[in-house]
Amino acid sequence: MQKSTGSLRRNNMRASLLYAPTLRETPAEAEVISHQLMLRAGFIRKSAGGMYTYLPLAWRVLKKIETIVREEMNAKGGQEVAMPIIQPAEIWQETGRWDVYGDEMFRLKDRHNRDFCLGPTHEEMITTVVRSDVRSYRQLPLMLYQIQNKYRDEIRPRFGLMRGREFIMKDLYSFDRDEKGLDENYAKMYDAYSRIFTRCGLAFRPVEADSGAIGGSGSHEFMVIADSGEAAIVYCPECNYAANVEKAELLPISAGIEVPDTLVEKSTPGTKTIEEISGFLGVSADKTIKTLAYQTEKGLVLALVRGDHEINEIKLQNQLNCLHLGLADETAVVRLTGAIPGFIGPVGVKDTVIVADATVMNMHNAVSGANKTDYHYINVNPGRDFNPTIVADIRLIKENDPCPRCGAAVATARGIEVGQVFKLYTKYTSALKATYLDENGKERPMVMGCYGIGVSRTMAAAIEQNHDENGIVWSAAIAPYQAVVIPVNVKDDAQMVLAERLYQLLNEAGIEAVLDDRAERAGVKFKDADLIGYPLKITLGPKAINENKIEVKVRRSGEVFFFETDNLIDEVQQLLSTL
């Protein structure tokens, strides 16, 4: 290595030594683009289903994302800790999640046959730490975070890093005296998350979310907008309402006034679907009631929505407050109602929980199954002909439904969930007895929040959102290197001398670069550079030698600039600040 004058050499990476084994062809196992490109560009290699080795380029990207996350967490008063990956069963048994988590938890035993798990998350761990040392309101609020591997034995790992069984997460846990403190910290984290994903160069949207199995209430998810996203979201073009479809609220639709007519049973052979029955009877789908039977651990329930609507099972589950919910099988339906699915309805059903969507209660003279195979009722009137146990919003929102805030038609999009913030309140602190003494000497449970970012998923999401037919397009903030220097012909001494010189200048200026010194043809280097996604490609050919014009090409836009050697560093820095 040549000694550079004065300044510290920050980086020394020649492509001939860089461990980034690129592939020309896409491995068959990769389905989504981020997975394909990370394999092809030599970022990751699989070791087992849902588990990957991060090769140098990926690791650099991950470290950059982590640095951004760390800076923003610290700026809000977060303090970083590291906790064991292996956690004892006892603390999970205390909160009851040892059983609740089920097969998704990686479990293991030590030589003494004691139970442990690989941490899928760290609420229990952090709370048991805090409870033993925090005694007074004076020690609160407290914000602790960690960036570590977490483990979930996913039923079906897929999409490469998007849904792995081992993944890197940042989790921050906040502990407050009261809900006011929690609200403040929640707001800080919401702000920090917006800053983080902005700095990463991602197009994202925070949406209201269901808080799911982790518990608590009040939650937002941060979604990177991408067609390949697993999550469906709705947003309002008029106001700033945005929500996961699982969460999106809907106000009941009114249906005018009609005189209730007499309930009549009609023979409707073979009409099992809403489409078939509305066609057979010549009524529109919004005059029918769709009845679905669900199996829960508490027994069978019937759920009702208007025929042209869909059920939101998350909402239904929240209303029923049950752990398991799934469509009942046909034999169970027959046993309960006497009819096969397609002909069941709420009329005449006894001793069964019936949950009706609020819109159903506004319907008049509707059609529903008669609980007799091949028969339906017409002129069904809610309140007169049946009375649900629960009336609530259990409908799934769809495009053009009215915004629950302002009534405008909502739009839909798909997103990759890269972060979620939760208000947990005292769910875990109560279970684990993490209490403090307030000013009056009274013992209170701490009020808790948790705030997660999928770091490895964020890397994948960045690729899903930023790529083209040639490869990855990194934003400068998270790119593994900012630039690659490509001498077109390594046999040309003048080119190589200039390349080394420019490479050294870049290093001294703190610009992370790779010198592609491989004895490959220019085309190969260009292809690899595009695949890996360096934001800038600095190409040295005859024009650089003869005319002092250094070609700089922007990966994202394809723009080409020519700079003189003396200005190169300034110009490159200028360019990078925009990428």
Partner RNA sequence: CGGGGCGUGGCUCAGUUUGGUAGAGCACCUGGCUUGGGACCAGGGGGUCGCAGGUUCAAAUCCUGCCGCUCCGACCA
CA distances from 111 to 86, 108, 114, 115, 116 (A): 14, 10, 7, 10, 11
How do strand 443-445 and strand 435-437 relate by DSSP bridges? antiparallel
User: Which of these ranges, 69-77, 346-354, 403-411, 541-549, lies near RNA under the rule CB under 7 A?
Assistant: 541-549
Amino acid at 210: D
DSSP state of 339: S
Look at residues 127, 85, 137 and name the one whose alpha carbon lies nearest to residue 106.
85
CA distances from 106 to 71, 152, 194, 517 (A): 31, 6, 32, 45
Give the per-residue contact string, 263-302, with RNA (x = CB under 7 A; - = no): ----------------------------------------
Comparing CB distances to RNA, the nearer of 440 and 546 is 546
For RNA (CB under 7 A), the number of binding residues is 68
Angle of helix 493-508 versus helix 565-576 axis, rounded to 10: 50
Give the per-residue contact string, 467-506, with RNA (x = CB under 7 A; - = no): ---x-----------------xxxx---------------
Q: How far is the CB of 59 from RNA (least distance, A)?
A: 17
Comparing CB distances to RNA, the nearer of 80 and 230 is 230
86, HSE (Cβ side, Cα atoms, 13 Å): 7
Asked whether 383 and 364 are in contact (CB, 8 A), the reply is no
Give the per-residue contact string, 9-38, with RNA (x = CB under 7 A; - = no): -------------xxxxxxxx-x-------
Interaction of residue 159 with RNA, rule CB under 7 A? yes
Question: What's the rounded Cα separation, in Å, for the pair 463 and 127?
Answer: 35
**Residue among 123, 417, 512, 516 that touches RNA (CB under 7 A):** 417
Paired strand residues for 79: 144
Interaction of residue 521 with RNA, rule CB under 7 A? yes
Comparing CB distances to RNA, the nearer of 14 and 527 is 527
Q: How far is the CB of 221 from RNA (least distance, A)?
A: 6
**Residue among 543, 554, 569, 573 that touches RNA (CB under 7 A):** 543
Interaction of residue 214 with RNA, rule CB under 7 A? yes
State the chain's maximal CA–CA distance in angstroms. Answer: 96
Asked whether 290 and 341 are in contact (CB, 8 A), the reply is no
Interaction of residue 69 with RNA, rule CB under 7 A? no
Look at residues 561, 566, 13 and name the one whose alpha carbon lies nearest to residue 576.
561
Look at residues 20, 84, 52, 68 and name the one whose alpha carbon lies nearest to residue 475.
68
Q: Which residues contact 395 (CB under 8 A, 6 or more apart)?
A: 250, 305, 306, 309, 310, 311, 312, 315, 357, 359
**Residue among 56, 88, 212, 252 that touches RNA (CB under 7 A):** 212
Reading the block at residue 579, the tokens are 């990428």
Q: How far is the CB of 121 from RNA (least distance, A)?
A: 8
**Residue among 524, 554, 565, 573 that touches RNA (CB under 7 A):** 524
Give the per-residue contact string, 95-134, with RNA (x = CB under 7 A; - = no): ---------x------------------------------
Interaction of residue 542 with RNA, rule CB under 7 A? yes
**Residue among 141, 369, 452, 533 that touches RNA (CB under 7 A):** 452
Comparing CB distances to RNA, the nearer of 419 and 480 is 419
List of residues contacting RNA (CB under 7 A) = 22-29, 31, 40, 46, 48-49, 104, 152, 154-159, 162-165, 167, 169, 212-214, 221, 230, 313, 325-326, 417-420, 452, 454, 456-457, 470, 488-491, 519, 521-524, 526-531, 537, 539-544, 551, 553
